[in-house]
Chains A and B, each alone.
Chain A
Amino acid sequence: MIRAFASGLRVDLLQLIRTPFDMVGMLVWPLVFASIAYLLLGHASGERALFTASLGAAVMIMWGWVILGAGFALDTQREQGTLELVVGAPTPLVVLVSPVMISRAVFGVYGLLLTLLWGRLVFGIPVLIDDWPAFIAAGVGCILAIGTLGLIAASTFVLYRAAFYLGISLQYPVYIACGLILPFSVLPGWLRPISWLLAPTWGFRALREAASAQAPWPDIGMCFGLSVVYIAIAIPCLAVFEHLARDRATLKLA
Protein backbone atom coordinates (compact mmCIF):
# COMPACT_ATOMS: atom_id res chain seq x y z
CA MET A 1 0.00 0.00 0.00
CA ILE A 2 2.93 2.32 0.70
CA ARG A 3 4.22 1.58 -2.79
CA ALA A 4 0.81 2.36 -4.30
CA PHE A 5 0.65 5.62 -2.35
CA ALA A 6 4.18 6.67 -3.36
CA SER A 7 3.50 5.70 -6.96
CA GLY A 8 0.27 7.71 -6.95
CA LEU A 9 2.09 10.73 -5.56
CA ARG A 10 4.74 10.45 -8.28
CA VAL A 11 2.14 10.09 -11.04
CA ASP A 12 0.14 13.07 -9.85
CA LEU A 13 3.17 15.33 -9.46
CA LEU A 14 4.48 14.25 -12.88
CA GLN A 15 1.16 15.11 -14.47
CA LEU A 16 1.13 18.49 -12.75
CA ILE A 17 4.61 19.56 -13.78
CA ARG A 18 4.11 18.34 -17.34
CA THR A 19 1.40 20.91 -17.94
CA PRO A 20 3.17 24.24 -18.37
CA PHE A 21 -0.15 26.06 -18.68
CA ASP A 22 -1.27 24.84 -15.25
CA MET A 23 2.10 25.71 -13.75
CA VAL A 24 1.91 29.27 -15.07
CA GLY A 25 -1.69 29.54 -13.93
CA MET A 26 -0.61 28.49 -10.48
CA LEU A 27 1.76 31.45 -10.36
CA VAL A 28 -1.14 33.88 -10.35
CA TRP A 29 -2.87 32.90 -7.14
CA PRO A 30 0.05 33.36 -4.77
CA LEU A 31 0.87 36.72 -6.23
CA VAL A 32 -2.71 37.97 -6.12
CA PHE A 33 -3.43 36.73 -2.59
CA ALA A 34 -0.16 38.06 -1.21
CA SER A 35 -0.50 41.41 -2.97
CA ILE A 36 -4.02 41.96 -1.63
CA ALA A 37 -2.82 41.18 1.89
CA TYR A 38 0.16 43.56 1.62
CA LEU A 39 -1.93 46.36 0.17
CA LEU A 40 -4.64 45.97 2.81
CA LEU A 41 -2.18 45.99 5.67
CA GLY A 42 0.26 48.56 4.34
CA HIS A 43 3.84 49.04 5.47
CA ALA A 44 2.80 50.86 8.62
CA SER A 45 1.69 47.57 10.15
CA GLY A 46 5.28 46.38 10.32
CA GLU A 47 7.39 43.72 8.67
CA ARG A 48 6.25 40.90 10.98
CA ALA A 49 2.58 41.52 10.20
CA LEU A 50 3.29 41.59 6.48
CA PHE A 51 5.30 38.39 6.70
CA THR A 52 2.45 36.77 8.64
CA ALA A 53 0.09 37.87 5.87
CA SER A 54 2.39 36.02 3.43
CA LEU A 55 1.95 32.86 5.48
CA GLY A 56 -1.83 33.31 5.50
CA ALA A 57 -1.80 33.73 1.73
CA ALA A 58 0.29 30.57 1.41
CA VAL A 59 -2.19 28.58 3.51
CA MET A 60 -5.04 29.91 1.36
CA ILE A 61 -3.18 28.76 -1.74
CA MET A 62 -2.60 25.35 -0.22
CA TRP A 63 -6.30 24.85 0.55
CA GLY A 64 -7.34 26.28 -2.81
CA TRP A 65 -5.09 23.92 -4.71
CA VAL A 66 -6.19 20.94 -2.65
CA ILE A 67 -9.90 21.52 -2.94
CA LEU A 68 -10.02 22.83 -6.52
CA GLY A 69 -7.04 20.94 -7.91
CA ALA A 70 -8.14 17.64 -6.44
CA GLY A 71 -11.72 18.11 -7.67
CA PHE A 72 -10.40 18.92 -11.12
CA ALA A 73 -8.00 15.95 -10.98
CA LEU A 74 -10.79 13.52 -10.10
CA ASP A 75 -13.06 14.99 -12.79
CA THR A 76 -10.21 14.50 -15.26
CA GLN A 77 -9.73 10.92 -14.09
CA ARG A 78 -13.44 10.32 -14.59
CA GLU A 79 -13.31 11.79 -18.11
CA GLN A 80 -10.20 9.88 -19.14
CA GLY A 81 -11.58 6.61 -17.76
CA THR A 82 -8.88 6.02 -15.17
CA LEU A 83 -11.21 6.54 -12.20
CA GLU A 84 -12.96 3.26 -12.96
CA LEU A 85 -9.63 1.46 -13.14
CA VAL A 86 -8.52 2.97 -9.84
CA VAL A 87 -11.78 2.11 -8.09
CA GLY A 88 -11.68 -1.37 -9.62
CA ALA A 89 -8.21 -2.05 -8.21
CA PRO A 90 -7.64 -4.29 -5.20
CA THR A 91 -5.90 -1.45 -3.29
CA PRO A 92 -8.13 0.52 -0.87
CA LEU A 93 -9.48 3.67 -2.48
CA VAL A 94 -8.16 5.90 0.30
CA VAL A 95 -4.60 4.89 -0.66
CA LEU A 96 -5.24 5.81 -4.27
CA VAL A 97 -7.09 9.09 -3.77
CA SER A 98 -4.95 10.51 -0.95
CA PRO A 99 -1.88 11.05 -3.20
CA VAL A 100 -3.99 13.41 -5.31
CA MET A 101 -4.74 15.51 -2.22
CA ILE A 102 -1.27 15.37 -0.75
CA SER A 103 0.45 16.24 -4.03
CA ARG A 104 -1.72 19.35 -4.29
CA ALA A 105 -0.85 20.30 -0.72
CA VAL A 106 2.86 19.68 -1.46
CA PHE A 107 2.47 22.12 -4.31
CA GLY A 108 1.43 24.56 -1.62
CA VAL A 109 5.12 24.73 -0.70
CA TYR A 110 5.72 26.05 -4.20
CA GLY A 111 3.00 28.62 -3.47
CA LEU A 112 4.61 29.51 -0.15
CA LEU A 113 8.03 30.03 -1.75
CA LEU A 114 6.53 32.13 -4.54
CA THR A 115 4.62 34.23 -2.04
CA LEU A 116 7.72 34.88 0.05
CA LEU A 117 9.76 35.68 -3.05
CA TRP A 118 7.11 38.06 -4.39
CA GLY A 119 6.86 39.79 -1.03
CA ARG A 120 10.64 40.14 -0.83
CA LEU A 121 11.22 41.36 -4.38
CA VAL A 122 8.18 43.58 -4.96
CA PHE A 123 7.15 44.75 -1.49
CA GLY A 124 10.53 44.48 0.27
CA ILE A 125 9.21 42.20 3.02
CA PRO A 126 12.01 40.20 4.65
CA VAL A 127 11.73 36.47 5.36
CA LEU A 128 11.41 36.34 9.16
CA ILE A 129 11.75 32.74 10.29
CA ASP A 130 13.22 32.43 13.78
CA ASP A 131 12.87 28.68 14.32
CA TRP A 132 13.64 26.83 11.09
CA PRO A 133 13.21 23.23 12.39
CA ALA A 134 9.81 24.12 13.82
CA PHE A 135 8.89 25.97 10.63
CA ILE A 136 9.73 22.94 8.50
CA ALA A 137 7.75 20.68 10.87
CA ALA A 138 4.85 23.16 10.69
CA GLY A 139 5.03 23.07 6.89
CA VAL A 140 4.86 19.28 6.84
CA GLY A 141 2.01 19.27 9.37
CA CYS A 142 0.14 21.90 7.38
CA ILE A 143 0.49 19.89 4.14
CA LEU A 144 -0.71 16.71 5.83
CA ALA A 145 -3.63 18.33 7.63
CA ILE A 146 -4.90 20.26 4.61
CA GLY A 147 -4.37 17.29 2.29
CA THR A 148 -6.24 14.90 4.56
CA LEU A 149 -9.08 17.40 5.07
CA GLY A 150 -9.35 17.44 1.28
CA LEU A 151 -9.56 13.67 1.40
CA ILE A 152 -12.90 13.86 3.23
CA ALA A 153 -14.20 16.16 0.50
CA ALA A 154 -12.76 13.78 -2.10
CA SER A 155 -15.11 11.05 -0.98
CA THR A 156 -17.98 13.11 -2.38
CA PHE A 157 -15.92 13.88 -5.51
CA VAL A 158 -15.83 10.13 -6.25
CA LEU A 159 -19.63 10.05 -6.29
CA TYR A 160 -20.58 13.30 -7.99
CA ARG A 161 -19.75 14.13 -11.58
CA ALA A 162 -19.29 17.84 -10.89
CA ALA A 163 -16.42 17.48 -8.42
CA PHE A 164 -14.72 20.66 -9.57
CA TYR A 165 -17.80 22.78 -8.84
CA LEU A 166 -18.19 21.15 -5.45
CA GLY A 167 -14.59 22.15 -4.82
CA ILE A 168 -15.35 25.77 -5.69
CA SER A 169 -18.21 25.78 -3.20
CA LEU A 170 -15.86 24.63 -0.44
CA GLN A 171 -13.00 27.04 -1.17
CA TYR A 172 -14.11 30.42 0.23
CA PRO A 173 -16.27 29.19 3.13
CA VAL A 174 -13.16 27.54 4.58
CA TYR A 175 -11.07 30.67 4.01
CA ILE A 176 -13.66 32.68 5.92
CA ALA A 177 -14.28 30.12 8.67
CA CYS A 178 -10.53 29.88 9.35
CA GLY A 179 -10.11 33.64 9.62
CA LEU A 180 -7.83 33.82 6.59
CA ILE A 181 -9.75 36.54 4.77
CA LEU A 182 -11.25 38.48 7.66
CA PRO A 183 -10.12 38.59 11.29
CA PHE A 184 -12.23 36.67 13.79
CA SER A 185 -13.05 39.98 15.51
CA VAL A 186 -15.42 40.85 12.66
CA LEU A 187 -16.88 37.35 12.25
CA PRO A 188 -19.81 35.88 14.21
CA GLY A 189 -18.73 34.07 17.38
CA TRP A 190 -20.21 30.73 16.34
CA LEU A 191 -17.62 30.47 13.55
CA ARG A 192 -14.78 30.14 16.05
CA PRO A 193 -15.54 26.54 17.13
CA ILE A 194 -15.94 25.60 13.47
CA SER A 195 -12.49 27.03 12.73
CA TRP A 196 -11.00 24.71 15.36
CA LEU A 197 -12.14 21.71 13.31
CA LEU A 198 -10.48 22.94 10.13
CA ALA A 199 -6.87 22.25 9.16
CA PRO A 200 -6.04 25.66 7.66
CA THR A 201 -6.65 27.30 11.07
CA TRP A 202 -3.99 25.19 12.75
CA GLY A 203 -1.69 25.11 9.75
CA PHE A 204 -1.60 28.89 9.63
CA ARG A 205 -1.10 29.15 13.40
CA ALA A 206 1.68 26.56 13.31
CA LEU A 207 3.54 28.39 10.53
CA ARG A 208 3.06 31.77 12.20
CA GLU A 209 4.18 30.63 15.64
CA ALA A 210 7.14 28.70 14.21
CA ALA A 211 8.26 31.73 12.19
CA SER A 212 8.25 33.88 15.30
CA ALA A 213 9.49 31.09 17.63
CA GLN A 214 6.40 31.49 19.85
CA ALA A 215 5.77 27.93 21.17
CA PRO A 216 4.60 26.45 17.85
CA TRP A 217 4.63 22.77 18.88
CA PRO A 218 1.04 22.56 20.24
CA ASP A 219 -0.23 23.91 16.90
CA ILE A 220 2.06 21.58 14.96
CA GLY A 221 0.76 18.72 17.11
CA MET A 222 -2.81 19.76 16.28
CA CYS A 223 -1.96 19.54 12.57
CA PHE A 224 -0.71 15.99 12.91
CA GLY A 225 -3.53 15.00 15.30
CA LEU A 226 -6.18 16.42 12.99
CA SER A 227 -4.60 14.55 10.07
CA VAL A 228 -5.15 11.28 11.91
CA VAL A 229 -8.75 12.24 12.69
CA TYR A 230 -9.40 13.31 9.09
CA ILE A 231 -8.02 10.01 7.77
CA ALA A 232 -10.19 8.09 10.24
CA ILE A 233 -13.24 9.98 8.91
CA ALA A 234 -12.19 9.79 5.25
CA ILE A 235 -11.76 6.00 5.15
CA PRO A 236 -15.41 5.11 5.92
CA CYS A 237 -16.64 8.12 3.91
CA LEU A 238 -14.74 6.93 0.84
CA ALA A 239 -16.06 3.39 1.32
CA VAL A 240 -19.65 4.66 1.54
CA PHE A 241 -19.34 7.00 -1.44
CA GLU A 242 -17.56 4.37 -3.52
CA HIS A 243 -20.46 2.01 -2.80
CA LEU A 244 -22.94 4.72 -3.81
CA ALA A 245 -20.95 5.47 -6.98
CA ARG A 246 -21.08 1.78 -7.93
CA ASP A 247 -24.78 1.72 -7.16
CA ARG A 248 -25.58 4.88 -9.15
CA ALA A 249 -23.11 4.28 -11.97
CA THR A 250 -21.33 7.62 -11.65
CA LEU A 251 -17.71 6.42 -11.94
CA LYS A 252 -17.78 7.09 -15.64
CA LEU A 253 -19.13 9.99 -17.64
CA ALA A 254 -21.98 8.56 -19.65
Chain B
Amino acid sequence: MTVVDALRGVGFSVEDGELFGLLGPNGAGKTTSIKILTTLLLPTSGSVRVLGFDPVREPNEVRSRVGYVFGGDRGLYDRLSALDNLRYFADVYRVPARQKAKRIAELLELVGLTGRERDRVETYSRGMRQRLHIARGLLHDPQVIFLDEPTIGLDPVGARELRETVAALRDSGKTILLTTHYMFEADELCSRVAVINKGQIVAEGTPRSLKAGVRDRTVIEVVAFNVSDAAPEAVRGLDGVESLAVEAVDQTQVLSVQSAEGAALIQPLLGTLTGAQVTSVTAREPTLEDAYVQLVSEP
Protein backbone atom coordinates (compact mmCIF):
# COMPACT_ATOMS: atom_id res chain seq x y z
CA MET B 1 0.00 0.00 0.00
CA THR B 2 1.29 3.45 -0.92
CA VAL B 3 0.82 6.10 1.75
CA VAL B 4 0.36 9.63 0.42
CA ASP B 5 0.55 12.70 2.65
CA ALA B 6 -2.37 14.74 1.31
CA LEU B 7 -1.41 17.67 3.54
CA ARG B 8 1.96 18.51 5.06
CA GLY B 9 2.19 21.26 7.62
CA VAL B 10 -0.66 23.34 6.24
CA GLY B 11 -1.47 26.31 8.48
CA PHE B 12 -3.78 29.27 7.96
CA SER B 13 -6.39 31.21 9.87
CA VAL B 14 -9.57 32.91 8.70
CA GLU B 15 -10.94 35.98 10.44
CA ASP B 16 -14.55 36.39 11.48
CA GLY B 17 -16.62 37.72 8.55
CA GLU B 18 -13.83 37.15 6.04
CA LEU B 19 -14.08 35.45 2.65
CA PHE B 20 -10.86 33.47 2.43
CA GLY B 21 -9.80 31.68 -0.74
CA LEU B 22 -7.90 28.42 -0.81
CA LEU B 23 -6.40 28.06 -4.26
CA GLY B 24 -4.54 25.22 -5.83
CA PRO B 25 -4.44 22.73 -8.69
CA ASN B 26 -6.35 19.44 -8.65
CA GLY B 27 -5.00 17.14 -5.96
CA ALA B 28 -3.28 19.98 -4.10
CA GLY B 29 -5.15 19.29 -0.85
CA LYS B 30 -7.96 21.87 -0.93
CA THR B 31 -10.84 19.43 -0.47
CA THR B 32 -8.89 17.42 2.09
CA SER B 33 -8.43 20.61 4.12
CA ILE B 34 -12.15 21.40 3.95
CA LYS B 35 -13.13 17.87 4.90
CA ILE B 36 -10.93 18.00 7.96
CA LEU B 37 -12.43 21.34 8.94
CA THR B 38 -15.98 20.04 8.45
CA THR B 39 -15.27 16.86 10.52
CA LEU B 40 -15.54 14.47 7.56
CA LEU B 41 -11.90 13.43 7.71
CA LEU B 42 -9.54 12.90 10.62
CA PRO B 43 -6.03 14.33 10.33
CA THR B 44 -3.21 11.98 11.24
CA SER B 45 -1.43 14.77 13.13
CA GLY B 46 -1.60 18.48 13.83
CA SER B 47 -4.36 20.57 15.35
CA VAL B 48 -7.40 22.30 13.90
CA ARG B 49 -9.87 24.73 15.43
CA VAL B 50 -13.13 25.93 13.94
CA LEU B 51 -14.79 28.69 15.97
CA GLY B 52 -12.66 27.49 18.88
CA PHE B 53 -13.86 23.87 18.62
CA ASP B 54 -11.78 20.85 17.70
CA PRO B 55 -13.35 19.04 14.71
CA VAL B 56 -11.72 15.79 15.86
CA ARG B 57 -12.86 15.80 19.48
CA GLU B 58 -15.93 18.04 19.28
CA PRO B 59 -17.46 17.19 15.88
CA ASN B 60 -21.05 17.98 16.85
CA GLU B 61 -20.11 21.45 18.09
CA VAL B 62 -18.50 22.13 14.72
CA ARG B 63 -21.25 20.49 12.64
CA SER B 64 -24.02 22.61 14.08
CA ARG B 65 -22.09 25.80 13.30
CA VAL B 66 -20.72 25.20 9.81
CA GLY B 67 -22.25 24.68 6.38
CA TYR B 68 -20.58 22.64 3.66
CA VAL B 69 -21.37 23.10 -0.03
CA PHE B 70 -19.51 21.30 -2.77
CA GLY B 71 -19.60 21.75 -6.50
CA GLY B 72 -20.85 19.35 -9.14
CA ASP B 73 -23.95 17.24 -9.52
CA ARG B 74 -23.73 15.35 -6.25
CA GLY B 75 -25.15 15.91 -2.76
CA LEU B 76 -28.90 15.97 -3.41
CA TYR B 77 -31.73 13.44 -3.52
CA ASP B 78 -32.54 13.54 -7.23
CA ARG B 79 -35.91 11.82 -7.04
CA LEU B 80 -37.21 14.31 -4.53
CA SER B 81 -38.28 17.89 -5.05
CA ALA B 82 -36.11 20.78 -3.89
CA LEU B 83 -38.66 21.38 -1.16
CA ASP B 84 -38.46 17.78 0.09
CA ASN B 85 -34.64 17.97 0.03
CA LEU B 86 -34.65 21.18 2.05
CA ARG B 87 -37.27 19.91 4.51
CA TYR B 88 -35.21 16.79 5.15
CA PHE B 89 -31.90 18.59 5.60
CA ALA B 90 -33.61 21.18 7.80
CA ASP B 91 -34.65 18.39 10.16
CA VAL B 92 -31.24 16.72 9.98
CA TYR B 93 -29.47 20.02 10.70
CA ARG B 94 -31.88 20.78 13.54
CA VAL B 95 -33.65 23.84 12.21
CA PRO B 96 -36.42 24.54 14.77
CA ALA B 97 -39.80 23.28 13.48
CA ARG B 98 -41.45 26.69 13.82
CA GLN B 99 -38.76 28.37 11.69
CA LYS B 100 -38.44 25.67 9.06
CA ALA B 101 -41.03 26.79 6.48
CA LYS B 102 -40.01 30.45 6.73
CA ARG B 103 -36.33 29.65 6.48
CA ILE B 104 -36.82 27.43 3.43
CA ALA B 105 -38.93 30.10 1.70
CA GLU B 106 -36.26 32.74 2.41
CA LEU B 107 -33.47 30.56 1.03
CA LEU B 108 -35.42 29.57 -2.07
CA GLU B 109 -35.89 33.27 -2.70
CA LEU B 110 -32.19 33.97 -2.05
CA VAL B 111 -31.04 31.39 -4.61
CA GLY B 112 -33.77 32.17 -7.13
CA LEU B 113 -35.62 28.87 -7.01
CA THR B 114 -38.98 30.13 -5.80
CA GLY B 115 -41.64 28.68 -8.08
CA ARG B 116 -39.55 25.62 -8.97
CA GLU B 117 -39.33 24.17 -5.47
CA ARG B 118 -41.86 21.40 -6.13
CA ASP B 119 -40.03 20.10 -9.21
CA ARG B 120 -37.87 17.03 -8.82
CA VAL B 121 -34.16 17.79 -8.57
CA GLU B 122 -33.45 15.39 -11.45
CA THR B 123 -35.15 17.91 -13.76
CA TYR B 124 -32.87 20.76 -12.63
CA SER B 125 -30.02 22.25 -14.62
CA ARG B 126 -26.57 22.14 -13.10
CA GLY B 127 -26.80 25.79 -12.11
CA MET B 128 -30.11 25.23 -10.34
CA ARG B 129 -28.72 22.24 -8.48
CA GLN B 130 -25.74 24.28 -7.38
CA ARG B 131 -27.99 27.05 -6.10
CA LEU B 132 -30.05 24.46 -4.25
CA HIS B 133 -26.79 23.21 -2.70
CA ILE B 134 -26.14 26.70 -1.40
CA ALA B 135 -29.64 26.87 0.08
CA ARG B 136 -29.13 23.49 1.74
CA GLY B 137 -25.82 24.57 3.22
CA LEU B 138 -27.40 27.69 4.71
CA LEU B 139 -30.48 26.06 6.24
CA HIS B 140 -29.18 26.08 9.80
CA ASP B 141 -27.78 29.60 9.42
CA PRO B 142 -24.16 28.48 9.90
CA GLN B 143 -21.55 30.91 11.18
CA VAL B 144 -18.94 29.53 8.80
CA ILE B 145 -19.60 28.35 5.25
CA PHE B 146 -17.24 26.08 3.34
CA LEU B 147 -17.65 26.33 -0.42
CA ASP B 148 -15.68 23.68 -2.27
CA GLU B 149 -15.38 24.68 -5.93
CA PRO B 150 -19.01 25.79 -6.09
CA THR B 151 -18.87 27.07 -9.68
CA ILE B 152 -17.21 24.01 -11.20
CA GLY B 153 -18.96 22.90 -14.36
CA LEU B 154 -21.37 25.85 -14.46
CA ASP B 155 -21.97 27.86 -17.60
CA PRO B 156 -20.68 31.46 -17.47
CA VAL B 157 -24.08 32.93 -16.62
CA GLY B 158 -24.74 30.35 -13.89
CA ALA B 159 -21.26 30.86 -12.47
CA ARG B 160 -21.72 34.63 -12.39
CA GLU B 161 -25.09 34.29 -10.62
CA LEU B 162 -23.52 31.99 -8.07
CA ARG B 163 -20.65 34.42 -7.47
CA GLU B 164 -23.25 37.12 -6.85
CA THR B 165 -24.89 34.88 -4.24
CA VAL B 166 -21.51 34.25 -2.58
CA ALA B 167 -20.78 37.98 -2.59
CA ALA B 168 -24.16 38.61 -0.95
CA LEU B 169 -23.32 36.08 1.76
CA ARG B 170 -19.96 37.78 2.31
CA ASP B 171 -21.66 41.15 2.56
CA SER B 172 -24.13 39.75 5.11
CA GLY B 173 -21.17 39.04 7.41
CA LYS B 174 -20.75 35.29 6.98
CA THR B 175 -17.29 33.80 7.34
CA ILE B 176 -16.57 31.87 4.15
CA LEU B 177 -13.77 29.58 3.06
CA LEU B 178 -13.87 29.17 -0.71
CA THR B 179 -11.79 26.73 -2.70
CA THR B 180 -11.45 27.29 -6.40
CA HIS B 181 -9.00 27.09 -9.23
CA TYR B 182 -10.65 29.95 -11.07
CA MET B 183 -8.33 32.83 -10.21
CA PHE B 184 -10.60 35.61 -11.43
CA GLU B 185 -13.23 34.24 -9.03
CA ALA B 186 -10.83 34.45 -6.10
CA ASP B 187 -9.67 37.89 -7.21
CA GLU B 188 -13.25 39.13 -7.38
CA LEU B 189 -14.52 37.64 -4.13
CA CYS B 190 -11.74 36.99 -1.62
CA SER B 191 -10.17 39.42 0.79
CA ARG B 192 -7.26 37.01 1.36
CA VAL B 193 -6.10 33.85 -0.34
CA ALA B 194 -3.69 31.01 0.31
CA VAL B 195 -2.17 28.96 -2.48
CA ILE B 196 -1.77 25.27 -1.72
CA ASN B 197 0.34 22.97 -3.82
CA LYS B 198 1.30 19.35 -3.19
CA GLY B 199 -0.17 19.51 0.30
CA GLN B 200 1.67 22.66 1.37
CA ILE B 201 0.81 26.35 1.55
CA VAL B 202 3.16 28.10 -0.88
CA ALA B 203 1.82 31.65 -0.52
CA GLU B 204 -0.72 33.58 1.52
CA GLY B 205 -1.95 37.15 1.39
CA THR B 206 -4.35 39.49 -0.34
CA PRO B 207 -4.89 38.98 -4.07
CA ARG B 208 -3.17 42.34 -4.53
CA SER B 209 -0.07 41.25 -2.60
CA LEU B 210 0.18 38.01 -4.56
CA LYS B 211 -0.09 39.91 -7.82
CA ALA B 212 2.64 42.27 -6.55
CA GLY B 213 5.00 39.29 -6.58
CA VAL B 214 4.82 39.26 -10.37
CA ARG B 215 4.23 43.02 -10.88
CA ASP B 216 7.66 43.55 -12.45
CA ARG B 217 6.88 40.99 -15.10
CA THR B 218 5.12 40.93 -18.40
CA VAL B 219 3.02 38.02 -19.59
CA ILE B 220 3.49 37.13 -23.24
CA GLU B 221 0.78 34.91 -24.65
CA VAL B 222 1.40 33.08 -27.89
CA VAL B 223 -1.44 31.23 -29.62
CA ALA B 224 -0.17 28.69 -32.16
CA PHE B 225 -0.91 25.49 -34.05
CA ASN B 226 1.45 22.51 -34.28
CA VAL B 227 3.73 23.41 -31.40
CA SER B 228 6.32 20.66 -31.16
CA ASP B 229 6.85 18.61 -28.01
CA ALA B 230 10.34 20.03 -27.66
CA ALA B 231 9.25 23.67 -27.88
CA PRO B 232 8.20 24.18 -24.21
CA GLU B 233 11.63 23.04 -23.01
CA ALA B 234 13.30 25.37 -25.47
CA VAL B 235 11.16 28.27 -24.23
CA ARG B 236 12.03 27.51 -20.61
CA GLY B 237 15.70 27.58 -21.59
CA LEU B 238 15.54 31.17 -22.86
CA ASP B 239 17.23 33.84 -20.76
CA GLY B 240 14.72 35.83 -18.74
CA VAL B 241 11.86 33.29 -18.78
CA GLU B 242 10.47 33.03 -15.25
CA SER B 243 7.69 30.56 -15.91
CA LEU B 244 5.77 28.92 -18.71
CA ALA B 245 2.23 27.52 -18.79
CA VAL B 246 0.93 25.62 -21.82
CA GLU B 247 -2.78 25.14 -22.35
CA ALA B 248 -4.58 23.40 -25.20
CA VAL B 249 -7.57 25.40 -26.43
CA ASP B 250 -9.47 23.62 -29.19
CA GLN B 251 -6.90 22.92 -31.92
CA THR B 252 -4.42 25.53 -30.70
CA GLN B 253 -1.92 25.74 -27.89
CA VAL B 254 -1.62 28.82 -25.74
CA LEU B 255 1.82 29.46 -24.27
CA SER B 256 1.85 31.95 -21.38
CA VAL B 257 5.37 33.09 -20.62
CA GLN B 258 6.22 35.29 -17.64
CA SER B 259 9.32 37.41 -17.87
CA ALA B 260 10.83 40.68 -16.64
CA GLU B 261 12.23 41.21 -20.14
CA GLY B 262 8.96 42.51 -21.50
CA ALA B 263 8.39 42.68 -25.26
CA ALA B 264 12.10 42.14 -25.88
CA LEU B 265 11.51 38.44 -25.27
CA ILE B 266 9.03 38.09 -28.13
CA GLN B 267 11.58 37.59 -30.93
CA PRO B 268 13.69 34.93 -29.15
CA LEU B 269 10.45 33.27 -28.04
CA LEU B 270 9.12 33.02 -31.58
CA GLY B 271 12.51 31.70 -32.64
CA THR B 272 11.97 28.59 -30.51
CA LEU B 273 8.63 27.82 -32.17
CA THR B 274 10.04 26.58 -35.47
CA GLY B 275 7.44 24.67 -37.47
CA ALA B 276 4.51 26.09 -35.51
CA GLN B 277 1.90 28.40 -37.04
CA VAL B 278 1.60 31.36 -34.70
CA THR B 279 -1.81 33.08 -34.88
CA SER B 280 -1.37 35.78 -32.25
CA VAL B 281 1.13 37.23 -29.80
CA THR B 282 0.09 39.55 -26.98
CA ALA B 283 1.90 41.15 -24.06
CA ARG B 284 -0.10 42.15 -20.98
CA GLU B 285 0.05 42.99 -17.28
CA PRO B 286 0.09 39.95 -14.95
CA THR B 287 -3.12 38.83 -13.23
CA LEU B 288 -3.70 36.78 -10.08
CA GLU B 289 -3.78 33.74 -12.33
CA ASP B 290 -0.26 34.52 -13.50
CA ALA B 291 0.88 34.87 -9.89
CA TYR B 292 -0.79 31.54 -9.17
CA VAL B 293 0.84 29.83 -12.16
CA GLN B 294 4.19 31.13 -10.98
CA LEU B 295 3.59 29.76 -7.47
CA VAL B 296 2.40 26.30 -8.45
CA SER B 297 5.01 25.96 -11.19
CA GLU B 298 7.92 26.41 -8.81
CA PRO B 299 9.67 23.13 -8.06
Q: Once the chains bind, are B42 and A85 in contact (CB under 8 Å)? A: no
Report how far A80 CA is from B40 CA in the complex, Å: 16
Interface 1/0 per residue, B79-100 and A, CB below 8 Å: 1100010011101111001000
Chain A residues with Cβ under 8 A from B87's Cβ? 7
CB <8 Å contact, B88 and A8: yes
Q: Nearest CB to that of A78 among chain B residues?
A: B74
B213 within 8 A of A: no
Asked whether B77 lies within 8 Å of A80 as measured between CB atoms, the reply is yes
What's the nearest-Cβ distance from chain A to residue B189, in Å? 24
Interface presence of A120 (CB below 8 A):
no
B-contacting residues, A3-52, CB 8 Å: 3-4, 6-8, 10-11, 14-15, 18-19
Set of chain A residues within 8 Å of B292, measured between Cβ atoms? none
Please choose the segment from B62-70, B107-115, B247-255 that sits at the chain A interface, where 4 or more of its residues have CB less than 8 A away.
B62-70
Q: Are A15 and B74 in contact (CB under 8 A)?
A: no
Residues 67-106 of chain A: 1 if any B CB is under 8 Å from the residue's CB, otherwise 0? 0000000000001111011111111000010000000000
Chain A residues near B93 (CB-CB < 8 A): 89-91
CA distance A11 to B79 in the complex (A): 10
With an 8 A cutoff between CB atoms, is A249 at the interface?
Answer: yes
Main secondary structure of the interface of A (DSSP, over half): helix
The answer to whether B74 touches A80 (Cβ under 8 A) is: yes
Q: Write the nearest CB–CB distance from B43 to chain A, whole angstroms.
A: 10
Which B residue's beta carbon lies closest to that of A84?
A: B40
Q: Which chain A residue shows the least CB distance to B6?
A: A249
Q: Does B287 contact A (CB under 8 A)?
A: no
A85 and B75 in contact, given A90-B64, A243-B42, A249-B41 (Cβ under 8 angstroms): yes
Chain A residues closer than 8 Å to B76, beta-carbon distance: 80-82
- CA–CA, A81 to B148, complex, Å? 13
Measured between alpha carbons, how far is A246 from B57 in the docked complex, in Å? 13
Let me know if A18 and B79 touch, CB within 8 A.
Answer: yes
Whether B161 is near chain A, meaning CB under 8 Å from some CB there, is no
Contacts of B35 in A (CB 8 A): 249
Q: Are A11 and B40 in contact (CB under 8 A)?
A: no
Q: How far is the CA of A84 from the CA of B91 in the complex (A)?
A: 16
Q: Do B88 and A88 touch across chains, with their CB atoms under 8 A apart?
A: no
B78 at the interface (CB under 8 A from A): yes
Q: Is A81's CB under 8 angstroms from B70's CB?
A: yes
Q: Say yes or no for B282: interface residue by CB 8 A criterion.
A: no
Chain A positions 167-202 with a Cβ under 8 Å from a chain B Cβ: none
The one of A19, A80, A251 in contact with B75, judged by C-beta atoms closer than 8 angstroms, is A80
Contact flag A81-B74 (CB < 8 Å), given A7-B87, A19-B79:
yes
**Which of B63, B74, B79, B91 touches A4 (beta carbons < 8 Å)?**
B91
Cβ contact within 8 Å between B92 and A96: yes
Complex: how many Å from CA A18 to CA B91? 22
CB contacts (< 8 Å) of B94 on chain A: these are 4, 90-91
List, in ascending order, chain A residues with CB within 8 A of B77's CB. Answer: 11, 15, 80, 82
Q: Is B39 an interface residue when CB atoms closer than 8 A count as contact?
A: yes
Residue B277 lies at the interface, judged by CB distance under 8 Å to chain A: no
Please measure, in the bound complex, the distance between the C-alpha atom of A8 and the C-alpha atom of B60, giving whole angstroms: 19
Given the complex of chains A and B, what is the CA–CA distance between A80 and B77 in angstroms?
A: 8
**Can you name 9 extra interface pairs (CB under 8 A) apart from A4-B91, A7-B88?**
A7-B87, A14-B84, A79-B74, A80-B75, A81-B72, A84-B40, A85-B68, A89-B93, A247-B42
Q: Which 4 pairs, one residue from A and one from B, show the smallest C-beta to C-beta distance?
A: A81-B74, A7-B91, A81-B75, A90-B64
Enumerate 30 A-B pairs (CB-CB under 8 Å) in ascending A order: A3-B97, A4-B92, A7-B88, A7-B92, A8-B92, A11-B80, A11-B84, A14-B80, A14-B84, A15-B79, A18-B79, A79-B74, A80-B75, A80-B76, A81-B70, A81-B72, A81-B75, A82-B75, A84-B40, A85-B75, A85-B136, A88-B38, A88-B40, A88-B63, A89-B89, A89-B93, A90-B64, A246-B39, A246-B41, A247-B42
